[in-house]
Amino acid sequence: MNRSQVIVSPRIRWFRFAAPQEFYPLAGILARWSAAVAVVLGVIGLVIGLLIAPTDFQQGDSYRIIFIHVPAAWMSMFIYVVMAFWAGFGLVFNTRLSSMMASALAPTGALWGKPTWGTWWVWDARLTSELLLLFLYIGFMALQAATDDPRRADRAGAMIALVGVVNVPIIYFSVQWWNTLHQGSSVSLTRAPRRASLLLAGMLVMVFAFWAYAIAAAMHRVRSIILEREKSTEWVRSLSGTAS
């Protein structure tokens, strides 16, 4: 065995997970570990946010919704970008697992609250662009459900995902481009955080908890999608025989 073979072989072993049959058991492991991490980090983040963090002198205790709202809002944008990536990858390279991953990532959303703003809804730039993101998620899922041909459904979903990804930077920069009801960014990479370090720590812990939950949910969903789409294959039938 020469040196080039030693270097290349690990990459080949990773490529095998592009096959749904090989990825299915790995997704199960990732789902279990990510769910456990999500629970641990979620408990820690909620303890910091609800019990340890001090009351805000302007908004009182209603500000504590940021420990749920901010991670959820970030994830609504982040997941859409990841979904669009997998959808585009599947469209270009015609890989089955990529399209399955895009389908597994679609369901998500986020909502702010009346106590802080004094209104349930207003046509604010941030809220409206987030509403559009929700419609894009619904449109993606509706297009995929509109046809019985999974390949056609994947291509249609990929097109709306790639077109809609332009809305993500609009959501993020809306509070800078327009005078909106929504406050400015709570966390910025270009300036010191507005929040006290304890609040920032609690928020970031919740962000990681949401990431772990998103991974667990996506892995659980993709396993179901794999079984549904590969039900005519021998390996899925063998799984059913083992389970029975």
- pLDDT the model gives residue 25: 93
- pLDDT the model gives residue 153: 85
DSSP classification of residue 51: I
Buried b (16+ CB within 10 A) or exposed e, 77-89: bbbbebbbbbbbb
Cβ atoms 212, 41 nearer than 8 A = yes
150 belongs to a structural domain: yes
pLDDT tens digits, 184-240:
555 544 444 445 678 888 889 999 999 999 999 999 999 999 999 888 888 888 886
Domain that holds residue 216: 65-110+121-183+195-228
238 belongs to a structural domain: no
42 belongs to a structural domain: no
- pLDDT the model gives residue 77: 81
- pLDDT the model gives residue 18: 79
Instruction: Answer whether residue 109 shows pLDDT above 60.
Output: no
How many structural domains is the chain composed of? 1
pLDDT tens digits, 78-104:
888 888 898 888 888 888 888 899 888
- pLDDT the model gives residue 27: 94
Rounded Cα distance, 125 and 102, in Å:
27
pLDDT tens digits, 160-171:
888 888 878 776
Of 14-18, 56-60, 112-116, 219-223, give the range with the top mean pLDDT: 219-223
Summary mean pLDDT of the chain: 77
151 belongs to a structural domain: yes
- pLDDT the model gives residue 4: 44
45 belongs to a structural domain: no
- pLDDT the model gives residue 243: 53
6 belongs to a structural domain: no
53 belongs to a structural domain: no
Q: What is the mean pLDDT of residues 125-151?
A: 79
14 belongs to a structural domain: no
